[in-house]
Amino acid sequence: MSTPLPPPSSPAPAYRRQPVNIACVQYDAKLGRVQENIDKVERMTASLRPGSVDLLVLPEMALTGYMFTSPTTILPYLESPRIGPTSILARALAKRLRCHVVAGYPEALPSAPQQPTPTPSSSSIPTLNVLAPVASSSRTPTPASGANEGASAVPPDAGPREMKALEGEGTGVGWNSAVVVGPDGDVVGNYRKHFRFETDKNWAREGDSFAYYDLPEPLGRVAVAICMDMNPKDFLAPWDAFELANFCKDNKVDMLVVPMNWLDLPGEPPEVEAPRDPQAPSESNLNYWAARLTPLHDPTPGYSSPPALEDPQGGKEVVFVACNRVGEEEGTKFVGTSCVMTIASSPSRIELVECCNTSEERVMLATVQ
């Protein structure tokens, strides 16, 4: 278990009128074993009391695993918004705990073949605030038709022509997405990963842009991103473009929530680098995430709020939530280190509120004053 960190030394910002309680579920998801992963999440969260948290976060592709190598391998696991296994679990958790839930899942295209299911009671999705770095737009996501959990999207008689159509002629068969659910169990947002990692490019389309959601206090304006969104686009964009951090800065977000399947990248040879302690967090990853959020804590030019929302200390505080997974999948190891940080620019400040280590499965609880 990781050692609890002392509470932040700085006072709560004036614009947050009550503490925010956050839970991240860090665990070892098993590839393709959806029901087993559902059961694990339910067991891990069973001790949480209703009203004890304001936000619960599950990792990227929380119930399916991540290392899918082709469109055909992931087709049976693509989910429809609202009524796929991840949305059903997230809605149940949100209603039981009376909190918001963010959970990653592989989203099916609206045109993907699906098994017929009863139509659930309708619940509208509020307008999604989607803003590109240059221009802004607003849209309401359109849900796809439903699919039973475990039902394959591949027709039993699919031949080469049908499979070629299903694989999207190389354009992708779905999106790497995250559902946002409110305390009443209604879906209030659906974000599609904007920057794709190499594994995503095996099957996923690129999401249109970064996005934020205006949620009730104490959450406020919440940007949702997924894993690779933290990096320079395709690892080719300039480091100091800081695409996601500048989006958060320009749109004055209060919180950045990032479900992840963040890899444990190879380090120096053993004779150069000491073995990592599995009971400690990855300091290199904590430092990397903080560095990728530089525009939010660099005092020049600063990150200021409207006058009515100013922090007495001079800079707007942003809460950063990273929910990662642990374990290995297809030879790939994940680094854990789920964390909550608070970040401000004037004065420049980064505080680690709580984090997991690189190997543990647990529900990490953090309170931001």
- What is the average per-residue pLDDT within 316-321? 94
Query: What is the predicted pLDDT for the residue at 221?
Result: 96
State residue 10's pLDDT score. Answer: 43
Backbone angles phi, psi at 362, to 5 degrees: -165, 165
Strand 20-26 vs strand 55-57: parallel, antiparallel, or unpaired?
Answer: parallel
Portion of the chain with pLDDT greater than 70, in percent: 72
Band (pLDDT 50/70/90 cuts) for residue 276 is confident
CB atoms within 10 A of CB 121: 4
> Around 333, how many Cα atoms within 13 Å sit in the side-chain half-sphere?
11
Residue 111 confidence (pLDDT): 72
Which range of 140-144, 270-274, 295-299 scores highest in mean pLDDT? It is 295-299
Q: How confident is the model at residue 267 (pLDDT cuts 50, 70, 90)?
A: low
Q: Output the CA torsion 72→324→287→242 (10° steps).
A: 50
* 199-211 mean pLDDT: 98
Q: What is the domain partition of the chain in residue ranges?
A: 20-368
Residues 114, 108: Cα–Cα separation, whole Å: 9
Model pLDDT for residues 96-106, shown as the tens digit of each residue:
999 999 999 99
Give the β-pairing of 220-224 and 211-215.
antiparallel
Does the pLDDT at position 170 exceed 60? no
**Predicted local distance difference test score (pLDDT) of residue 278:** 83
Average pLDDT over every residue of 144-173: 48
pLDDT of residue 245: 97
The class (CATH top level) of 20-368 is alpha beta
pLDDT bin (cut points 50, 70, 90) of residue 47 is very high
Of the candidates 56, 109, 61, the one whose C-alpha atom is nearest the C-alpha of residue 85 is 61
The one-letter amino acid code at 319 reads V
pLDDT tens column, 11-26: 445 556 789 999 999 9
Q: Which of 135-144, 192-201, 315-324 has the lowest mean pLDDT?
A: 135-144
The pLDDT of 215-219, averaged and rounded, is 95
- The tens digit of pLDDT for each residue in 102-149 reads 999 999 999 755 433 333 333 333 333 433 332 333 333 333 333 333
> What pLDDT sits at residue 298?
87
Of 11-15, 352-356, 363-367, where does mean pLDDT reach its minimum? 11-15
Mean pLDDT, the chain, as a whole number? 82
Distances (CA, A) of 360 to 28, 48, 87, 280, 355: 9, 18, 25, 9, 11
The pLDDT, as a whole number, for residue 213 is 98
Question: Nearest 5 degrees, angle CA 137-CA 138-CA 140?
Answer: 145
